[in-house]
Structure 1
Amino acid sequence: MKLYVLSLSAGLLVGVIYSMLSVRSPAPPLVALIGLLGILIGEQIIPVSKQLRSGVAFNTACEKTQATHHVLGQLPGRNTVGKVSETDQA
């Protein structure tokens, strides 16, 4: 939950700075959020599709590639973090 509060606080700070400079945000908030969601999902298409081509079920493919954890992050109320891959550690 702390991460969400920090993220909201950073967004509010940037909004105040934009307001003080009389600058509009680069994209309407909903458009920007949908674009970010598209990026997150797009990053998972190739790893998940490789798993699907090898004959793995969709849910298993998402688990093996940690696609759900990558797209959604750690959801509030969860105390455990998913496995960390070697690329995440680098």
Structure 2
Amino acid sequence: MSIWAISLGAGVLIGLVYAVLNVRSPAPPAIALVGLLGMLIGEQLTRHLIL
């Protein structure tokens, strides 16, 4: 099984537990996650263009 699938499954499971317990998730706002995604994309593009 892919490490990505395991990570996604664990996140969904924890999200369900938080929802059942009515606890607010400590995750950063969605806009911050989009910024992190942009950083990762930029890093990968740079690696492929330079190397």
TM-score, normalised via structure 2 length: 0.52
Aligned residue number for residue 16 of structure 2: 16
The alpha-carbon distance between structure 1 residues 15 and 6, as it changes in their structure 2 partners (threshold 3 A), is: same
The alpha-carbon distance between structure 1 residues 14 and 32, as it changes in their structure 2 partners (threshold 3 A), is: farther
Identity %: 43
Structure number with greater CO (CA < 8 Å, separation at least 6) is 1
- Structure 2, unaligned runs of 5 or more: 44-48
Indicate the structure (1 or 2) with the bigger Cα radius of gyration. 1
Once the two structures are TM-superposed, the CA of residue 8 in structure 1 deviates from its matched residue by 0.8
Between Structure 1 and Structure 2, the one with more helix by share is: 2
Q: Work out the CA distance in 2 between the residues paired with 1:21 and 1:14.
A: 11
- Structure 1, unaligned runs of 5 or more: 45-57, 64-90
Amino acid at match of 2:20: M
TM-score, normalised via structure 1 length: 0.34
Q: Work out the CA distance in 2 between the residues paired with 1:32 and 1:19.
A: 22
Corresponding pairs, count: 42
